[in-house]
């Protein structure tokens, strides 16, 4: 994701926060198996 955003032209791309968004759902095991979690991203277009 970060690489794709950078290739598009966005700058200062970074992940800011992580979330256990699938905790307690029926997909919790699958999420854990594949390391799936929610994340916040920020990316800027040059001025």
For residue 15, which of 45, 46, 43 has the smallest C-alpha distance?
43
**Residues 5 to 24 in contact with another protein, rule: CB under 8 A:** 5, 7-10, 15-17, 19-24
Token pair for residue 13? Answer: 């791309």
Distance (Å, rounded) from C-alpha 16 to C-alpha 5?
A: 15
Q: How far is the CB of 22 from another protein (least distance, A)?
A: 7
Is 29 one of the binding residues for another protein (CB under 8 A)? no
Q: How far is the CB of 8 from another protein (least distance, A)?
A: 4
Q: What angle do CA 10, 19, 11 make, to 5 degrees?
A: 10
Residues that bind another protein (CB under 8 A): 1, 4-5, 7-10, 15-17, 19-27, 30, 33-47
């Amino acid at each position: 994701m970060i690489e794709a955003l950078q290739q598009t032209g966005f700058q200062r791309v970074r992940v800011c926060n992580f979330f256990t968004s699938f905790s307690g759902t029926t997909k919790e095991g699958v999420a854990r198996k594949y390391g799936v979690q929610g994340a916040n991203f920020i990316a800027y277009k040059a001025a």
